[in-house]
Amino acid sequence: MSELHTETASQPAPETTMTLLFIDDEANILSSLKRLFRPLGYRIFTAEGGAQGLEILAQESIDLVVSDMRMPEMNGAQFLEIVRQKWPETVRILLTGYAEIGATIDAINKGQVYRYISKPWEDHDITLTIKLALQHKMLEREKLRLEGLTQQQNEELKDLNANLEEKVKARTQEVRQTMALLESAHESLKKNFITSVRVFSNLIEMRDASMVGHSRRVADLSKAIAQRMDMTDDEVQDVFIAALLLDVGKIGLSDSLLNKTFSSLNSEERDEVIQYPIKGQLVLMALDELQGAAQLIRNHRERFDGMGFPDRLAGLAIPLAARILALAKDYDACQIETSINKRLKQADAVLAIQEGRGRRYDPRVVDAFLNVIDSSATPVQTKPELKLRRIQLKPGMLLSRDLISKSGAFLLAKDYILNETLIGQIENFERLGDWLMIYVWDTE
């Protein structure tokens, strides 16, 4: 009865030890093969027949099998055919004699052997053949591994590509929502900032009842002229803010000075008055957002012919926005009846501006002003609005105009959304005797 033998070389095995199975019914052949391959670091099994070889294959992971062709009960061709069917990844080599060519061909066809080795063998040839066969097996194994990895990656890429468009859309939507929130927050801050400036401007005008609403009207006219002259949005905003705060430097002037015409002042008083644009600039110097407006406040009393103050600038040396402010301020001022001047009709005020063309005012600004006056004579209402009393107000209504008191005081800005609290404050204001007319957008 045949015996089962297994050996591993005494020297350290490679990181991945390959396992060989030799099958031959001659014990001396098996001994020779073990002696030859023992030093090479392989794990070795031997069997003296096909049946015993199949038992080993069923129990162990065999990388390569070498089978003799001529064996009793089951020859090499039959054995290798079974191996191919049950363990196709095991490399199969046939050991045969020269006289067995027909059986060898049969084994090649049925068992699909990797190589056949003739007896007697050359030690170098057989060890090299087995080495190359195992290398081929390792390459095939690595190829299968890489193919599996590639297939997995392809599936992942396919899934990624399938979802990429949706992910991009979702991310784009998130970015748009974030940008919309930021723009909304920016607009809210900008609106609150302008409202704060208007409130401060209103406080400045409370010193003289005849001047209530003056800065607001100058701001609206200056803004319209600046837009007509194609100034940028930032420049238009600076013009608008500067107009609201033009007289901030007058806060420190006495009532006696404010109630005198400039021509009636003595030299000492004139020196004090002509400093008010500089003081106005200094009042705002700590606010970065108002630096542009502050410079315009300093320059708004300059004249195109160089006879203004405080720096005696002339012509294009005066900022364009300051040239606009000078005209708008004078146009509104001459239509206000105060203790120091008599009120002019609008037509006479327009004529006064035209007479100052090239001397007090920039001719280009005068032309833009006249265009604005002509176009404002036929206003275009872009959206319907309602004229309501306080009792008709409801939360959520949107102001279509600035809310101005009967005395001309600025209360709320256009496009402000009313709520219960504001409606209650408007009611309290009317209880003081200053009735309001409120304009809101008609949303129905």
Distance CA 237, CA 216 (A): 13
Instruction: Name, in order, each residue with C-beta under 8 angstroms of 223's C-beta and a sequence gap of 6 or more.
Output: 236, 239, 240, 243
**22-31, 255-264, 367-376: lowest mean pLDDT where?**
255-264
The sign of the dihedral angle between the CA atoms of 216, 220, 226, 232 is positive
Most confident of 208-212, 221-225, 411-415: 221-225
116: three-class secondary structure by DSSP: strand
Q: Is the pLDDT of residue 393 over 80?
A: yes
| Residue 66: Cβ-neighbour burial (10 angstroms; 0-12, 13-18, 19+) | buried
pLDDT band for position 209 (cuts 50, 70, 90): low
Distance CA 270, CA 264 (A): 9
User: Does residue 111 contact residue 80 with C-beta atoms inside 8 Å?
Assistant: yes
User: Does residue 437 contact residue 387 with C-beta atoms inside 8 Å?
Assistant: yes
pLDDT of residue 444: 61
User: Does residue 431 contact residue 390 with C-beta atoms inside 8 Å?
Assistant: no
Query: Between residues 100 and 135, which one has the greater pLDDT?
Result: 135
Distance CA 332, CA 343 (A): 10
For residue 116, which of 104, 128, 106, 100 has the smallest C-alpha distance? 104
Instruction: Name, in order, each residue with C-beta under 8 angstroms of 53's C-beta and a sequence gap of 6 or more.
Output: 21, 23, 47, 65, 67, 79
Instruction: Name, in order, each residue with C-beta under 8 angstroms of 444's C-beta and a sequence gap of 6 or more.
Output: none
Mean pLDDT for the chain? 82
Span 239-257, average pLDDT: 84
For residue 2, which of 69, 50, 58 has the smallest C-alpha distance? 50
Query: Between residues 356 and 207, which one has the greater pLDDT?
Result: 356
Q: Is the pLDDT of residue 380 over 50?
A: no
Q: pLDDT tens-digit profile of 337-362?
A: 664 567 788 899 999 999 999 999 99
Q: Is the pLDDT of residue 217 over 60?
A: yes
Q: Is the pLDDT of residue 163 over 60?
A: yes
**100-109, 147-156, 158-167: lowest mean pLDDT where?**
100-109
Instruction: Name, in order, each residue with C-beta under 8 angstroms of 50's C-beta and a sequence gap of 6 or more.
Output: 23, 67, 71, 73, 74, 75, 76, 78, 79, 82
pLDDT of residue 306: 94
Q: Radius of gyration (Cα) for the chain, nearest Å? A: 51
- What pTM does this model have? 0.53
pLDDT of residue 406: 66
pLDDT of residue 113: 82
